Structure 1
Amino acid sequence: MRVLIVLAALTLLGGCAVGWPDTALYEGIPQPEGPGSNSTNPADRPTNVMLRQRTQRLFPAGSPEAPLLDWLATQKMSVRRYPDQDGGVRGSGVRYLGSWPCNRSVRVTWTASSTGVIETITADEGDTGCF
């Protein structure tokens, strides 16, 4: 009986291991820290620092939004855009990683002006839930 419990626990924990997809966003970035990594300040985690720097380097404030939207699609992210009060947009691209019992996500969020120019952009990854 103990053997079955140990095997079940290992199977569940094995489902928590999440690797990066094979796309340009993640190239050269350390693997996600795993369940519980949100216990430290997420903005300071090396993975988030590198994701944020990469997106800000590729799509800096002042650049057009359209290439960002195309790029997010190649990263297999689900993109949503919402109008804001100033006539611009707030956008997010999300990709969920992993599977039950633990999920993680990578998010790119930005704002753009009414003329389609990026004003702010950031990216991060983190837990979306572990049973």
Structure 2
Amino acid sequence: MSLTVPNDLLDQARAGEVDDAAFIACVRESLPYAWSVISELVQHRDRTGAEFADNQVPPPSEEARGQLLRCLASDAMRGALERHFSVRLAFQNCHRVAVFAPSAADAWREFVTPRAQILNQKPELVDC
């Protein structure tokens, strides 16, 4: 299961739309490793003013890796995080998350190319 959904949020979803704040809180509580990686990247990018910041450190466990995969594979979660942090996210391999400034369209486009994915491959990442 991707998220641990509190009963009040489940009731809210059954009754209609779920607001982003409630959904973000659910993601933050359910996927703490993924949340910490993304929020730290956002803070780093904000501090440096760079077009993007990325994580190149493999997760400390399979559980942590699973959190990243589940979080970034979900269009709903990715979209909510992008709106919450006012960034654009990209993902390569099992752990290379990148956070882009909204104005960094060229850097984002380069990061998500097949060329960039191929150049990011390393033998130790085959089973990640």
TM-score for the superposition, normalised by structure 2: 0.30
Structure whose residues are more often strand by fraction: 1
Structure number with bigger Rg: 1
Structure whose residues are more often helix by fraction: 2
